[in-house]
Amino acid sequence: MAKKIFLCAINNVLSGNCLEDCAFCTQSVHHGAKIARYKFKDEKLVLQEAKRAKELGALGYCLVTAGKGLDSKKLEKIISYTTLIKKELSNFQIIACNGTVSLEMLKELKKAGVTSYNHNLETAQSYYPKICSTHSWQERYNCAQNVKKAGLKLCSGGIFGMGESKEDREEFIKALISLKPDSVPINFYIPNEALPIKKRNIEFDEAIEVIKKIAKALPKAKIMVAGGREHLFDTFEKEKAMYEAGANAIVIGDYLTTKGVSALQDQERIQAFGYEIARECDGK
């Protein structure tokens, strides 16, 4: 049976103006990056975009908000988007990604029909102070642990190539494995002139090693390659190697503030590699 590849899409429903100072993020007000900044997207627009993602094969849809965490207003909006999308689209899982969140709020999201919560560790605990001074890595770890306590699936990964050392990378991967996430988004840093991290310090071979290590340690997880894959795996052969290393899921379409690959090209490539696009989420 051909290996199945799961497609996921993301929607930045509230963009920019975040007071945190994450060095990799164009949505932080500290860096003044030139991006679109807006308040909550109109619900009908979000539904229309969700329908389009489903037509392109997405089985999961991630509702993302910029900012440190979830407050009652954001919670209400995410519940409202979720309710609308779930009413209109079947066989379509909602993932919420709204920063630090309490156990009680996670339970509310689950009640509303959210399947998974995405909270990335981003990098190693030792390296974290170099990329963020406004909140701690431990806070991120604790929040990721709470996701499972609330009965939601945990989606947790991070970004490679932000200047971390090989040792930091090992430490980060170990921490991710300790969380036993259901899916692991693996991103590769995308430099932007406004951001303090000026270049990406990971090459193709190292990126393949990262995917292999995580896939081997978490055989049941979805190994989802996301932002930056269009740079690291930019040829047919390199993309093939990405899947062979253990990737079994990708984010299709655009990312939060950067352009992605055409979803149609992704579908053609997946078929050309001899894989199948998953039509149902297996519940994992």
Q: Which residue ranges make up the site for ligand SF4 (CB under 6 A)?
A: 18, 20, 22, 25, 27-28, 66-68, 99
Give me the least distance between CB of 265 and ligand SF4, in Å please.
28
Give me the least distance between CB of 37 and ligand SF4, in Å please.
11
Decide if 170 contacts 209 (C-beta within 8 A).
Answer: no
- What's the angle, vertex CA 77, arms to CA 56 and CA 146, rounded to 5? 85
CB nearer to ligand SF4: pick between 28 and 123: 28
Residue 243, CB half-sphere, CA atoms under 13 Å: how many?
Answer: 24
Give me the least distance between CB of 33 and ligand SF4, in Å please.
10
Give me the least distance between CB of 245 and ligand SF4, in Å please.
26
CB nearer to ligand SF4: pick between 22 and 215: 22
Structure tokens at 68: 């440190």
Please list the residues that pair with 70 across neighbouring strands: none
Give me the least distance between CB of 209 and ligand SF4, in Å please.
25
CB nearer to ligand SF4: pick between 13 and 25: 25
CB nearer to ligand SF4: pick between 67 and 161: 67
Give me the least distance between CB of 29 and ligand SF4, in Å please.
8
Give me the least distance between CB of 177 and ligand SF4, in Å please.
22
